[in-house]
C-alpha cells in the first residue's frame, strides 16, 4: 500500500546493500508508487551516502519525463583516480557538461536545445560506473531504480574537450580497454543520437528541484559505448578521437 511507504526505510536498505556490495531482487523491496516517492527516497539515500558533489546524471523515465540522480563517488582523473570494483559493476564512456549559467525552472516556455548549449561553459570526457542494489536495475520498477540513484556507483571526470563535441560526439572513434583487454572499439553512439536530449528533457521538467541545474553543476549525458560489465579490477583506458582518459577500478577488502 502506498500509504505505508517509508522513504527513509527504503533508503536505509539501499544504502546497506550498496555498502555490502550486494543486490536483491525487486520483489523484496517496498516500491515507491511514483517518481515523487522515488525522489524522496533518493534524497535520503544521498544523505546516507554523504554526497556533497554537485555532479549529476540525467535520463528519462519510461514515460519520457526527465529525471536525475547524483554521481558518487565523484573523482577527477588528474592522476591516480580509482573507483571501487563490485561484482556486476558496469562501465560507460560519457560526455559531461558544466553549466556556466543557471537554467531555472521555466514552465511558461520550454528550453530549446540552443539555450541549453548556450548555458554550457565546459565539456569533458568522462566515465560512469554503475551497479544497482536492485538486481534487475530498472527493468521491473523504474521508480525503485530512480530511488537507487539510477544505479550510479561512481564517476571519473576526464579532460576537457571542445564544446562542439556536444554536436559531433556521435560517430567519433572510441576504443576502451580494461585490464589490457578491448571492451569497446567502434564509433561513439548515444542511445538518443543527441548527447543533450536527456539534459534538455530534464531542464524542461517543471517538477525538478528549484536548486537543480545551477551554474557550476556538472551533468553527464548518457553512454557512448553501451554498458559493459567489468569482470574484475583493473586499469581502464579510453581513447575518444585523440582524447585519452585513464583510471582504475580496484577491489576493496
Q: Hey, which bits of the chain come out as E strands?
A: 55-60, 66-70, 74-76, 82-85, 90-99, 120-130, 152-161, 173-178, 181-187, 218-223, 228-229, 234-240, 243-251
- Residue 252 has a pLDDT of 77
Q: What is the CATH number of the domain that holds 28?
A: 3.90.850.10
Report the pLDDT value the prediction gives residue 2, as an integer from 0 to 100.
44
Task: Judge whether residue 3 has pLDDT over 80.
Answer: no
- At residue 197, φ and ψ (nearest 5 deg) are -55, -50
For residue 68, pLDDT over 90 is answered with yes
Q: What is the pairing mode between strands 173-178 and 234-240?
A: antiparallel
Q: Which domain holds residue 170?
A: 2-251
pTM (two decimals): 0.94
pLDDT tens track for 135-188: 999 999 999 999 999 999 999 999 999 999 999 999 999 999 999 999 999 999
Confidence category of residue 253, pLDDT binned at 50, 70, 90 = low
Number of domains into which the chain is organized: 1
pLDDT confidence band for 1 (50 / 70 / 90): very low
pLDDT computed for residue 53 by the predictor: 87
Amino acid at each position: 500500500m502506498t500509504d505505508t511507504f517509508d522513504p527513509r526505510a527504503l533508503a536505509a536498505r539501499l544504502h546497506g546493500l550498496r555498502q555490502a556490495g550486494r543486490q536483491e531482487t525487486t520483489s523484496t523491496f517496498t516500491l515507491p508508487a511514483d517518481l515523487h516517492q522515488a525522489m524522496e527516497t533518493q534524497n535520503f539515500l544521498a544523505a546516507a551516502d554523504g554526497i556533497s558533489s554537485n555532479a549529476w546524471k540525467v535520463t528519462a523515465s519510461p514515460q519520457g519525463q526527465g529525471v536525475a540522480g547524483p554521481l558518487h563517488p565523484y573523482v577527477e582523473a588528474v592522476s591516480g583516480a580509482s573507483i571501487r570494483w563490485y561484482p556486476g559493476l558496469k562501465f560507460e564512456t560519457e560526455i559531461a557538461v558544466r553549466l556556466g549559467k543557471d537554467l531555472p525552472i521555466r514552465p511558461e516556455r520550454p528550453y530549446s536545445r540552443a539555450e541549453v548549449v548556450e548555458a554550457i561553459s565546459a565539456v569533458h570526457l568522462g566515465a560512469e560506473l554503475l551497479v544497482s542494489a536492485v538486481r534487475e536495475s530498472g527493468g521491473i520498477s523504474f521508480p525503485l531504480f530512480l530511488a537507487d540513484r539510477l544505479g550510479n556507483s561512481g564517476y571519473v571526470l576526464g579532460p576537457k574537450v571542445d564544446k562542439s563535441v556536444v554536436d559531433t560526439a556521435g560517430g567519433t572513434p572510441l576504443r576502451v580497454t580494461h585490464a589490457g583487454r578491448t571492451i569497446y572499439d567502434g564509433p561513439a553512439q548515444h542511445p538518443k543520437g543527441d548527447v543533450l536530449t536527456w539534459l534538455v528533457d530534464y531542464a524542461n521538467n517543471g517538477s525538478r528541484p528549484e536548486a537543480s541545474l545551477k551554474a557550476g553543476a556538472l551533468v553527464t549525458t548518457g553512454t557512448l559505448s553501451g554498458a559493459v560489465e567489468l569482470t574484475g579490477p583493473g586499469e581502464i583506458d579510453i581513447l575518444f578521437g585523440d582524447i585519452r582518459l585513464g583510471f582504475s577500478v580496484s577491489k576493496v577488502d
